Structures are given as C-alpha cells and as structure tokens.
C-alpha cells in the first residue's frame, strides 16, 4: 500500500469520550484510579471494554489467563495476527493514563479501520493484558501468552496464594487451563504497545513521541549483613560487628559507584530491616532490598558483579559477613528494529517530533518481544509523574500517539 493509503485518522473525540468513561471506573477522590487486577473495578472495566468491542462490530475474545481482546479478522483465516494493546489494571490510587490509553487507542485503531471498510491482510487484535502492574503477579497476561504461566506458578509452596486463586476463580480463570493461553509464535505477526513514558525525558525535550528501542533488564537482590548483637553502651566502636553500619555503607557505595560506573543504569535500595531493632542493642542483622536496571543485559550483569563486590567490601570493612540472594532477573529486551523503523516513518508522516528512548519500566511489550517482534510508542508524561493521581499527558499527545499507532498498523497490514 502507498503511504497515501495510510492517511486514516483516529476519531479523537470518540477516543476521548472512551477515556473519560473508563476513568470513572475505580475513580478515587484525588483524581486517580484504583483498578487493581481482578478487583470489582477491574472486572467492571473489562465488562465495559467488551461492550465497546461489541458495539464496534468486532469480535470479543478472552483467553485462559484472562486477557480480553477485540478481533478484526482478515479474509484469510490462516493469516497471522498483529496484536496491539496494553492493560486496564492500575496500581492503588494510580493515574488514569497508564495502560488505559494503550488499550483504548488499540480499540480505536480497529474500530476506525473497520468502519472505513479497509481490509487488512492480517488479523488485528486489540488486547487488554491481565495484571500488568503485579497486584498478584506482574505481567501475568503476557507471560501467559508466551507460555510462561502454569498452575505451578500460583500454587508454589512458599507463598499463600489463596486470595490470588480465589480472585482468578471469580474472574472465571481456571488453574488447570492457564497453560493453554500459550499462543503459537508462528501465528503472531507482531505486537505494538502505546504507553505513557512515566519519566520526564520527552516532556523536558518538548517532543511528541518516544520510539522505544530497548526495555531495561532488571535484577533484584536480598542483601543480608550479619554481625553480632551487643550492648550498645559497653561495647566500644572497635569491638562492634554492627550489621547496620555495613548496610549503610553499602547503600551509599552502591548508589555512588553504580551511578558513576554505569550512567545508563539505575539502582534502588528500597528497604532495610534490622534485628533485633532496639535503641540499646548493636544491630546483629540488616537485610536490604536492592534493585538495579540497565537497558543492556550484559551491562546489567556487570552491575550485578560490582554490586556483589561492594557488598563484600562493606562487609569486610565492618567485620561482618554478607549473604546475597538473587530474587529475580529479567533480561533487557531490544525492540524489533523493523517495527522501530515502521513507527519512525509513521512519526515522520504524521509530523510527530520523536526520538529513540529506552524504557526504564517493565511492559507487556518486553514479554511479547520474546515470542514475536514487538514495538512500543511512548507519550510524554508531564513532569514524569507516574503511579500517582497527578499523572498527566496532554490530549494532543494522546491524539498524535494514536494516529502514529494507527498509521503503523496500516503500514504493516494493509
């Protein structure tokens, strides 16, 4: 198809009306939204979404992990599917844009294509993924599609997943069937996701669109310093084995060294708990929650090695031992070069000022990328505020983003 054939535009008023209606579901007093995955509000939002799909003359589909889709089928039943979407769930008292914009824009693309009578060569699917935010299990829905969810993940022996199981059951999701959500990679043409940036790079540079080229890898660790409890009055500084001093030194060193040595990485010490936790006892144990991210998996490994080295150095300096336990590791993902170029040319055609950008938060695109080419379009977040009722994206940017998404879909499928 010529680029002229892609000159379709979304119905911005209709998209905005959808956005306003959806924002009312789970609205909080401060202007935010609480639609925790599988909660009443989330189920209400899905039901509302299913109504919109039917209203548009599209086919409603759900799968074994609760993902909910609208389908626009190609004439050739054996054609591959281009999936487009994001998530309707939110964190507690989160913002209105995160996830929602991506699902609604995907629906609007299919609706617009359908009503204008354009006939794509591939099936189109606008999808809402279950539990992106991790109320129960982060990126549950997309992991289900790539075959990484089974009932074993819910019924592990370490965690009491009673409430999760009940929530799944109530939503009609059956444990023994979870693994059937897996799709055949050969059936997927690709995946596109429109999402707010959640950082302030695009906003500060005054751009319209970020074309995500990488999604950060992430590793989390428990770092546990072990010293010796002692009387805080009678034990001199030289005699102490103070686990908290070791942990404090590590916090300072990890932020300083990892930030200096890895400009593209981020590190966080999100918590520390101390035993026995008393004014007059030298801490015997200090247990840290440590996380670091980098857009390059090999460099993430280098950060990990330096972090472990620093943990040992701080232990030695304070006459302690330290145990480090890797809690999770998710490799960085490089987005499809082909889709990135397609989005870039759509931006050019739409006159959208854009830049390549790395995503420092996790997304369904990162999971989908493991089975099929995935691309991601970021919208500017005003002041980078995220997971907060004050999260805001100017509507003109939503409109530009939805049109870039629509044009990319048309370039790929018509």
In three-state secondary structure terms, 94 is strand
Any contact of residue 86 with a copy of itself (CB under 8 A)? no
Contact 389/30 with Cβ under 8 angstroms? yes
Any contact of residue 277 with a copy of itself (CB under 8 A)? yes
Stretch that binds a copy of itself, among 49-57, 124-132, 195-203, 396-404 (CB under 8 A): 195-203
* Host H or E run for residue 286: strand 285-294
Q: Which is nearer to a copy of itself, 74 or 281 (CB)?
A: 281
- Measured in degrees and rounded to the nearest 5, phi and psi for residue 83 equal -95, 140
Cβ–Cβ contacts within 10 Å for residue 411, how many? 17
- Within residues 215-274, the interface with a copy of itself by CB under 8 A covers 216, 218, 220, 230-237, 239, 242, 244-245, 247-249, 251-252, 255, 259, 266, 268-274
Contact 82/125 with Cβ under 8 angstroms? yes
Any contact of residue 291 with a copy of itself (CB under 8 A)? yes
Any contact of residue 386 with a copy of itself (CB under 8 A)? yes
Q: Which is nearer to a copy of itself, 319 or 387 (CB)?
A: 387
The minimum distance between CB 188 and a copy of itself, in angstroms, equals 27
Q: Which is nearer to a copy of itself, 166 or 327 (CB)?
A: 327
Stretch that binds a copy of itself, among 48-56, 66-74, 102-110, 278-286 (CB under 8 A): 278-286
The minimum distance between CB 150 and a copy of itself, in angstroms, equals 24
| Dist. CA 350–CA 37, nearest whole Å | 35
Contacting residue, 5, 51, 278, 309, with a copy of itself by CB under 8 A = 278
Contacting residue, 85, 362, 373, 389, with a copy of itself by CB under 8 A = 362
Q: Which is nearer to a copy of itself, 131 or 399 (CB)?
A: 131
- Look up residue 33 and give its two tokens: 């939204």
* Residues contacting 380, CB < 8 A, separation 6+: 196, 197, 202, 203, 207, 208, 210, 393, 394, 397
In three-state secondary structure terms, 173 is coil
Question: CA of 293: how far to CAs of 140, 224, 326, 377, 384, in Å?
Answer: 20, 20, 14, 20, 18
Q: Facing residues of 68 across strands?
A: 62, 128
Any contact of residue 205 with a copy of itself (CB under 8 A)? no
* Closest C-alpha to 378, from 389, 361, 369: 361
Strand 321-330 relative to strand 123-128, pairing? unpaired
Q: Which is nearer to a copy of itself, 175 or 232 (CB)?
A: 232
Q: Which is nearer to a copy of itself, 61 or 255 (CB)?
A: 255
| Dist. CA 18–CA 22, nearest whole Å | 6
- Look up residue 71 and give its two tokens: 């389908």
| Dist. CA 170–CA 68, nearest whole Å | 15
Give the contact letters, 299-338, x = binds to a copy of itself (CB under 8 A), - = no.
----------------------------x-----------
Strand 188-196 relative to strand 285-294, pairing? unpaired
Any contact of residue 94 with a copy of itself (CB under 8 A)? no
Stretch that binds a copy of itself, among 69-77, 105-113, 166-174, 213-221 (CB under 8 A): 213-221
Any contact of residue 280 with a copy of itself (CB under 8 A)? yes
Strands, E, within 87-153: which ranges?
123-128
Contacting residue, 129, 262, 360, 392, with a copy of itself by CB under 8 A = 360
- Look up residue 30 and give its two tokens: 């401060």
The minimum distance between CB 391 and a copy of itself, in angstroms, equals 10
Give residues in contact with a copy of itself (CB under 8 A).
197-200, 216, 218, 220, 230-237, 239, 242, 244-245, 247-249, 251-252, 255, 259, 266, 268-274, 277-283, 289-291, 293, 327, 360-362, 384, 386-387
């Amino acid at each position: 198809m010529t680029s002229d054939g892609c000159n379709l535009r979304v119905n911005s008023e209709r998209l905005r009306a959808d956005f306003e209606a959806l924002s009312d579901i789970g609205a909080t007093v401060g202007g935010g939204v609480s639609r925790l995955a599988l909660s009443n509000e989330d189920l209400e939002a899905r039901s509302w979404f299913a109504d919109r799909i039917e209203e548009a003359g599209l086919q409603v589909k759900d799968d074994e992990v609760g993902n909910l889709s609208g389908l626009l089928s190609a004439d050739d039943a054996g054609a591959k599917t281009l999936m487009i979407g994001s998530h309707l769930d939110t964190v507690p008292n989160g913002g209105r844009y995160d996830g929602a914009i991506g699902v609604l824009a995907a629906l609007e693309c299919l609706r617009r294509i359908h009503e204008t009578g354009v006939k794509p060569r591939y099936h189109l699917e606008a999808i809402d993924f279950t539990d992106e935010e991790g109320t129960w299990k982060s990126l549950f829905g997309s992991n289900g599609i790539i075959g990484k969810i089974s009932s074993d993940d819910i019924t592990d022996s370490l965690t009491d997943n009673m409430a999760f199981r009940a929530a799944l059951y109530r939503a009609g999701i059956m444990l023994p069937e979870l693994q059937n959500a897996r799709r055949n990679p050969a059936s997927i043409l690709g995946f596109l996701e429109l999402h707010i940036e959640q950082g302030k790079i695009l906003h500060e540079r005054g751009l319209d669109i970020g074309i995500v080229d990488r999604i950060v890898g992430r590793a989390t660790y428990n770092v546990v310093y072990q010293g010796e409890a002692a009387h805080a009055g009678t034990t001199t500084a030289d005699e102490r084995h103070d686990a908290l001093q070791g942990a404090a030194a590590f916090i300072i060193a990890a932020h300083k060294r990892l930030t200096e040595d890895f400009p593209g990485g981020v590190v966080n010490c999100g918590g520390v708990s101390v035993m026995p936790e008393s004014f007059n006892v030298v801490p015997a144990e200090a247990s840290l929650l440590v996380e670091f991210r980098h857009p390059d998996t090999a460099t993430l490994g280098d950060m990990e090695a330096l972090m472990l080295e620093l943990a040992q150095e701080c232990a030695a300096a304070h006459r302690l031992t330290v145990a480090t336990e890797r809690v999770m590791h998710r490799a960085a993902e490089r987005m499809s070069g082909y889709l990135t170029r397609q989005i870039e040319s759509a931006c050019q055609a739409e006159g959208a000022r854009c830049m390549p950008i790395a995503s420092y938060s996790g997304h369904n695109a990162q999971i989908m990328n493991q089975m099929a080419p995935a691309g991601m379009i970021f919208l500017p977040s005003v002041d980078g505020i995220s997971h907060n009722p004050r999260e805001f994206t100017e509507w003109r940017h939503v409109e530009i983003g939805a049109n870039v998404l629509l044009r990319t879909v048309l370039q790929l499928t018509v």
